[in-house]
């Protein structure tokens, strides 16, 4: 896959920002392409943010595109873990790993995908 676009999320992904975040991600989705969603700057994420990701993944599937999420840590990673969505999303620890995952089609091991609270990456 050569058509890979990276999107960096804002500090808050919640009900206030969810429409703009969804528009940002969905605008990057191209038929047959890939999107890397970089969550390194996210300091707060609510269930509304997780729903945004689910809708974006649905749109990507419609276009036969893929989305890989990366660099989530702290409370944002906790939100993905607690919601159970970390098992459904493709998540990696770095942008480079996300690009490689998109190009190879490989799946990351679940224990390698998120940094739990208090860790960095």
Q: Which domain holds residue 34?
A: 4-112
Is residue 119 assigned to a domain?
no
Which of these ranges, 3-12, 68-77, 83-92, 103-112, has the smallest mean pLDDT?
Answer: 103-112
- pTM for the structure as a whole: 0.83
**84 or 115, greater pLDDT:** 84
Round the average pLDDT of the chain to a whole number and report it.
86
| Higher pLDDT pick, 110 / 75 | 75
**Residue 108 included in any domain:** yes
Q: What is the arithmetic mean of pLDDT over 24-38?
A: 96
Question: Distance between CA 29 and CA 116 in Å, rounded?
Answer: 28
According to DSSP, the β-strands at 34-38 and 44-45 are unpaired
Residue 53 belongs to some domain of the structure:
yes
Measuring CA to CA, which residue among 102, 74, 108, 105 is closest to residue 88? 108
Specify the number of domains making up the chain: 1
CATH of the domain at 77: 3.30.750.24
């Amino acid at each position: 896959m050569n058509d890979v676009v990276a999107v960096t999320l804002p500090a808050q992904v919640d009900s206030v920002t969810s429409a703009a975040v969804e528009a940002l991600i969905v605008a990057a989705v191209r038929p047959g392409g890939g999107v890397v969603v970089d969550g390194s700057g996210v300091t707060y994420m609510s269930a509304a943010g997780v729903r945004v990701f689910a809708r974006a993944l649905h749109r990507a599937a419609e276009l036969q595109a893929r989305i890989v999420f990366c660099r989530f840590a702290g409370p944002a990673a906790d939100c993905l873990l607690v919601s159970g969505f970390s098992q459904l999303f493709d998540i990696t620890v770095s942008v480079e790993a996300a690009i490689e995952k998109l190009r190879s089609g490989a799946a990351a091991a679940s224990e390698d995908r998120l940094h739990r609270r208090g860790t960095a990456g």
